[in-house]
Amino acid sequence: MTGLTIHDVVIEAAHHIECNGYSAHYLYSVPQAQAGRPLAQCAVDVIGAISLAAHGTPAHPATALTRATEQAVLAHTTAPSLAAWSDYKGNGKQRALALLQETAAGLRAQAQQQDQWRAARCPDCGEAIEIRDDGMRTLCACDVAA
């Protein structure tokens, strides 16, 4: 699977948790796997769901895409890692889904913000620049001088 964005993976990961069920503390449900269920259909935790969404199996080694997705999700928690997050009391299926949905919404907001460049002029040198809502701006003669 190529061309997946972090947002795609987050959405698909939530879908997998919703359909397969949630399995705390490990990538996928070991009892289900031992009973012969295909890994792609076993209940998954957040990391397993991300792997499953990115490359079709919850047990696959981490890739740049899964790591970037985990970082994006982790940024919406106060936990040091997603493994630690899943060990926190009360963090079950509903919170996992809420976390993924919140991450997806955050990514959409970020993407939208990055698209909103508007034309402006630097008040100091008068050069044409572009400014984004978050204050990010393209360089002008002042930056070169600085």
Among 5, 19, 30, 124, the residue binding Zn ion under the rule CB under 5 A is: 124
Q: Under the criterion CB under 5 A, does residue 122 sit at the interface with Zn ion? A: yes
| Closest separation in Å from C-beta 142 to Zn ion | 3
User: Torsion over CA of 41, 66, 108 and 93, rounded to 10 degrees?
Assistant: 40
Block residue for tokens 């935790």: 45
Residue 139 as a binder of Zn ion (CB under 5 A): the answer is no
**Residue 117: strand pairing partners:** 132
Q: Does 142 bind Zn ion (CB under 5 A)?
A: yes
Q: Is 134 in the site for Zn ion (CB under 5 A)?
A: no
Nearest to 87 by CA among 43, 34, 46, 53: 46
DSSP 8-state class, residue 61: P
The distance of closest approach from Cβ of residue 116 to Zn ion in the complex, given in angstroms and rounded to an integer, is 21
Number of residues that bind Zn ion (CB under 5 A): 5
Q: Cα dist. 138→5, 110, 112, 142, 143 in Å?
A: 26, 18, 18, 11, 9
User: Does residue 125 interact with Zn ion by CB under 5 A?
Assistant: yes
- Regarding 120 and contact with Zn ion (CB under 5 A), the answer is no
Which residues would be at the binding site for Zn ion (CB under 5 A)? 122, 124-125, 140, 142
